[in-house]
Structure 1
Amino acid sequence: MFKIHEIREIIKLIDQSSIKEFELEIEGSKVTIKKSGGVVEEKVQTIVAQAPAAPVAAAPAPAAQAAPVQPAAQPAANTQVPEENLHQILSPMVGTFYSAPEPGASAFVQVGDKVTPNKVVCIVEAMKLFNEIEAEVTGEIVKVLVQDGQLVEYGQPLFLVKPE
């Protein structure tokens, strides 16, 4: 059974994203969230909450597919490398991006750092769970696409890596 604070956290994350519909089922309990109005409905073992719709530039994909990619407001560095030759490290979930293991600590990686497939490059926090994100490739970080503390969406690019 879901706890109310977990449901509130999910609603908050969905409301801040461009996702219009989200569904999660764990151990026989199911939460479905749809953006459209302000009415909250509850059903036996199924909770349906409707959050106010946020303006969306493009029609979002269902939760099982990647959401539309939105460019970061301020990239960390400029580079002359063509982006089609770069590997994107994508967020595997909706959550909050953290570049360091704790406040005040140095970032996992910075522009110019060499990475390997198992190197942790950041943390994405979702529902109080801190998920380490690994580089997936060997190469050099050429661009950080999000800022520390920024909300990220499923499938959103976090880093650009020049593969070796």
Structure 2
Amino acid sequence: MLKIQEIREIIKLIDQSSIDEFLYENDGVKVKLRKRGQEGETIVQKVVQEKEVQPVQKVITETPQQAAAPSEKQEAVKEEPKNVDTENLHKITSPMVGTFYAAPNPDADPYVKVGSKVEENTVVCIVEAMKLFNEIEADVKGEIVEVLVENGQLVEYGQPLFLVKPE
């Protein structure tokens, strides 16, 4: 069974993100959240419980617009990773809970993509938390070999965002 605290946390994440609708389904339990109105009020539309379930494992963060028409920039983030030994790779992780953005605005190219060379102070993405846009730097010199998250995806504290082959 979803605990009330877990539902409250989901509602906070939805309020802080740019998504309009959220649907969670697991083992007969359905939770659908939708924003409406000017104030961005989040409502719990439907909860059906048939048996006890584990806490939320993954949050779907795709807006209807993103699902309908993925941009070329979003597809660039989904490039296939090179076959590289992951033990020797550096992980760039999220320093906070928030929404991952690969580019400074929807019309711009992503900061980095697979094959991009980065320095320690190269901005690789933005994580939005509580309406603040935080630039995340590479903190290592090397080459991006894999992008682990999608544009607009909610990320957790410490979640790996990129794999970098250090120089």
Structure 1 length-normalised TM: 0.58
1:88 aligns with 2:102: no
CA distance in 2 between counterparts of 1:117 and 1:96 reads 22
The CA deviation at 1:77 is: 2.0
Query: Where do residues 34-53 of structure 1 align in structure 2 (5 Å cutoff)?
Result: none
Question: Pairwise CA RMSD of aligned residues?
Answer: 3.0
CA distance in 1 between counterparts of 2:132 and 2:15 reads 19
CA distance in 1 between counterparts of 2:13 and 2:54 reads 12
1:134 aligns with 2:137: yes
Q: Which runs of 4+ in 1 moved over 3 A?
A: 8-11
Kept in 1, the 8 Å contact 2:146–2:164? The answer is yes
Indicate the residue corresponding to 1:122 in structure 2: 125
2:157 paired residue among 124, 133, 154: 154
The CA deviation at 1:126 is: 0.3
The CA deviation at 1:141 is: 0.2
The CA deviation at 1:80 is: 1.0
Change in 2 beyond 3 A, CA 1:146/1:130:
same
Kept in 2, the 8 Å contact 1:139–1:163? The answer is yes
CA distance in 1 between counterparts of 2:79 and 2:132 reads 26
CA distance in 2 between counterparts of 1:54 and 1:95 reads 22
Kept in 1, the 8 Å contact 2:81–2:114? The answer is no
Name stretches of at least 5 consecutive residues in structure 2 with no aligned partner. Answer: 1-7, 17-46, 48-52, 58-76
Q: Secondary structure at the match of 1:106?
A: coil
CA distance in 2 between counterparts of 1:15 and 1:104 reads 24
Indicate the residue corresponding to 1:108 in structure 2: 111
Change in 2 beyond 3 A, CA 1:101/1:14:
closer
Measured against aligned partners, the alpha-carbon deviations of 1:45-103 in whole angstroms (never above 9, x if no partner) come to xxxxxxx997246xxxxxxxxxxxxxxxx954222111110000000000000000001
Change in 2 beyond 3 A, CA 1:77/1:114:
same
Structure with the bigger percentage of helix: 2
CA distance in 2 between counterparts of 1:14 and 1:155 reads 20
Change in 2 beyond 3 A, CA 1:54/1:152:
farther
The total of aligned residue pairs comes to 107
1:12 aligns with 2:12: yes
Structure 2 length-normalised TM: 0.57
- Give the % identical residues: 71
